[in-house]
């Protein structure tokens, strides 16, 4: 194992079973190495398996064949609790539909990962600082549904970053925003990732955004391939 990789996947295979109990093969013999501090984009048609792969990379789905090392740790040898711990401390997710908790205020949503990880000291101040940086200082006590889509996504981005994770995963994060808002948010987001030297894997349908990555992968034949291969 080489230390400069945050994640290494070898021979990944992932199947689902459909309602007729037959096997659907989504990922077959996929190999992938993710360099520390790099930005990787994944593009490909709907239904090709992008979200499935992101869930595996993000340690949300452990039901697969093959090997996955995260920070040099063989994940198949870890207990569920260990995996949950690694995910909680090291990985931030951003989804297309924000997935904010409507009953909680903006700042409570952002604080949540800190509270879950028992990282409660200064959780309010840390979250507030991030929300101010994201231009949301006027909104911290609002409920998410009172905000625009762009504001909700900025809250979700702040929540994904509050724990200072090593890896950020974004699944079509601008897919539900108008073009102008999407452009502003994506620019801001990429800038933050670069300034803070984070590792990012993002799925997008937007060619301009995908080109901002250091490596661009295309989902084809049940695996991902570098687009210049
Ligand atoms: N839990 C599941 N059970 C059965 N099939 C699934 C499940 N999740 C996704 N699929 C199927 O797997 C394929 C890939 O899905 P997904 O990874 O969501 O694709 P993408 O994100 O590229 O649009 C799709 O055909 C989808 O219907
Ligand atoms: Mg998807």
pLDDT 10s digits, 42-57: 999 999 999 999 999 9
What's the CA gap between 70 and 32, in Å, rounded?
Answer: 12
pLDDT at 179 over 50: yes
Pocket perturbation via mutation, ligand 1, pick of 51, 62, 63 by most ligand atoms within 8 A of CB: 51
Question: Residues 98-150: pLDDT tens digits?
Answer: 999 999 999 999 999 999 887 778 999 999 999 999 999 999 999 999 999 99
The pLDDT of residue 2: 42
The pLDDT of residue 104: 98
Entry pTM: 0.95
Ramachandran angles phi, psi of 21, nearest 5°: 65, 20
**Hey, what are 168's tokens?**
């950020």
What's the CA gap between 162 and 111, in Å, rounded?
Answer: 7
Average pLDDT, the chain: 94
- Cα 83 to averaged position of ligand 1 atoms, centre (Å): 23
Atom of ligand 1 nearest to the CA of 16: 4
Residue with the smallest CA separation from ligand 1 atom 10 is: 16
pLDDT at 18 over 70: yes
The pLDDT of residue 203: 97
pLDDT at 3 over 80: no
For each of the domains in the chain, give its residue range(s) and CATH number, in order of start: 5-226 (3.40.50.300)
Which residues are bridge partners to 226 per DSSP? 217
Question: Residues 73-105: pLDDT tens digits?
Answer: 999 999 999 999 999 999 999 999 999 999 999
Q: In what order do the strands lie in the sheet with 199-203?
A: 91-94, 167-171, 199-203, 39-43, 215-220, 223-226
Residue 171 CA: which ligand is closest? 2
Q: Which of 12-26, 80-94, 116-130, 164-178 has the lowest mean pLDDT?
A: 116-130
Q: What is the 3-state secondary structure (H, E, C) of the chain?
A: CCCCEEEEEEEEEEEEECCCCCEEEEEEEEEEEEECCCEEEEECCCCCCHHHHHHHHCCCCCCCEEEEEECCEEHHHCCHHHHHHHHHHHEEEECCCCCCCCCCCHHHHHHHHHHHCCCCCCHHHHHHHHHHHCCCHHHCCCCHHHCCHHHHHHHHHHHHHCCCCCEEEEECCCCCCCHHHHHHHHHHHHHHHHHCCCEEEEECCCHHHHCCCCEEEEEECCEEEECCC
What are the pocket residues of ligand 1 if the criterion is a CB atom closer than 6 Å to any ligand atom? 16, 18, 24, 26, 44, 46-52
Residue 171's pLDDT band (cuts 50, 70, 90): very high
Residue with the smallest CA separation from ligand 1 atom 24 is: 47
45 or 4, which is more confident = 45
pLDDT at 1 over 90: no
What's the CA gap between 114 and 102, in Å, rounded?
Answer: 18
- Cα 204 to averaged position of ligand 2 atoms, centre (Å): 9
Residue 48 CA: which ligand is closest? 1
């Amino acid at each position: 194992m080489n230390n400069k990789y945050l994640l290494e996947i070898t021979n990944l295979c992932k199947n689902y079973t459909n309602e007729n109990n037959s096997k659907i093969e989504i990922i077959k013999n996929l190999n992938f190495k993710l360099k520390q501090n790099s930005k990787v984009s994944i593009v490909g048609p709907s239904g090709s398996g992008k979200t499935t792969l992101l869930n595996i990379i993000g340690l949300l789905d452990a039901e697969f064949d093959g090997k996955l090392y995260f920070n040099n740790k063989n994940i198949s040898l870890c207990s569920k609790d260990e995996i949950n711990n690694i995910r909680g401390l090291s990985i931030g997710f951003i989804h297309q539909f924000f997935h904010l908790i409507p009953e909680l205020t903006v700042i409570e949503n952002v604080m949540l990962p800190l509270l879950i990880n028992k990282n409660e000291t200064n959780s309010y101040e840390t979250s507030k600082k991030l929300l101010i940086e994201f231009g949301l200082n006027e909104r911290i006590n609002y409920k998410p549904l009172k905000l625009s889509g762009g504001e909700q996504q900025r809250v979700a981005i702040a929540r994904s970053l509050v724990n200072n994770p090593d890896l950020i995963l974004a699944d079509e994060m601008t897919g539900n925003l108008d073009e102008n808002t999407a452009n502003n948010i994506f620019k801001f987001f990429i800038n933050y990732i670069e300034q803070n030297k984070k590792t990012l894997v993002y799925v997008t349908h937007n060619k301009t955004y995908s080109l901002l990555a250091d490596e661009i992968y295309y989902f084809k034949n049940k695996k991902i391939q570098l687009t210049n291969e």
